[in-house]
Amino acid sequence: MKKEKNIIIISIMLVCIILTAVILVQFKAVEETDITGIKTAQESELKTMLSSWKTKYEEAAEKLAETEQKIQEYEAKMSSDEEAEELLDEELMQTNILAGKTDVSGQGVIVTLSDNNEKEIVSDDLIRLVNELRLAGAEAISINDKRVLNTTEIVDVNGNILVNTERVATPYIVKAIGNQTYLSSALSLKNSGFIDTCTNEGKTVEMKQENNVKILAYNGERQMKYAKEVEEE
């Protein structure tokens, strides 16, 4: 009789412990599925998020299709014992374009910033402009024919502005290749756009759209001394 009672008690306890454990696990799960960014976003923000993820998806999907095609082309060449030189040249050219090693041309905008009697253009104005152009999808940018790349610095040194360690002076002619309409409308946004903010500060800015902007290659060797590609495995 006594033994039976004990068994009952122990089994009840056991059930309780299991239940508690289950509840704790559940707690955890609720915490983890909380995708804070998406959960707390407002409707308008959600809409921009949606379109931005969609565009990024499309770009990635396009790139994926391209890569798959290249793999097939290489494989076809190999199986038929042909030279792969043509494919290589094509790929090399594409990466040279992206790395700023070639002169490029295309539609875009030309923005001219110049010192006036009141205000001088400083490096920060150029950094802001470059950033705005990139945000609007600029593919290539130069300042007074110095190519602006991801490793480019724009700094004030003793009253001069240096770009890629070379001196540039007023008027600063900033060229950008990309969708003309995007570029120009981004810069000319009322009040918050680059042109209005600069003009409000008393600085001289002009912008024009061009169908054939020419941007020179990076003038120098692009080499990495310290960075090595991470090897797999």
For residues 69 and 116, which CB has a smaller minimum distance to other proteins in the complex?
69
Q: Distance between CA 39 and CA 60 in Å, rounded?
A: 25
70 binds other proteins (CB under 8 A): yes
Contact range with other proteins by CB under 8 A, out of 111-119, 152-160, 167-175, 193-201 = 152-160
Contact range with other proteins by CB under 8 A, out of 103-111, 112-120, 167-175, 193-201 = 103-111
Among 137, 185, 206, 219, binds other proteins (CB under 8 A): 137
Helix (H, G, I), strand (E, B) or coil at 193: coil
- Return the amino acid letter for 193: G
Contact range with other proteins by CB under 8 A, out of 38-46, 113-121, 166-174, 198-206 = 38-46
For residues 117 and 224, which CB has a smaller minimum distance to other proteins in the complex?
224
Q: Distance between CA 123 and CA 116 in Å, rounded?
A: 15
The nearest distance, CB 186 to other proteins, in angstroms, is 10
Q: Contacts with other proteins: how many residues (CB under 8 A)?
A: 100
Contact range with other proteins by CB under 8 A, out of 11-19, 109-117, 167-175, 196-204 = 11-19
193 binds other proteins (CB under 8 A): no
56 binds other proteins (CB under 8 A): yes
204 binds other proteins (CB under 8 A): no
What's the Cα-to-Cα distance from 72 to each of 80, 82, 89, 180, rounded to whole Å?
12, 14, 16, 35
What's the Cα-to-Cα distance from 230 to each of 95, 96, 233, rounded to whole Å?
19, 21, 9
The nearest distance, CB 68 to other proteins, in angstroms, is 6
94 binds other proteins (CB under 8 A): yes
Q: Distance between CA 28 and CA 22 in Å, rounded?
A: 10
Query: What phi and psi, each to the nearest 5 degrees, are found at residue 216?
Result: -80, 160
- Torsion angle (degrees, nearest 10) of CA 92, 95, 97, 101: -80
- Total residues belonging to the chain: 233
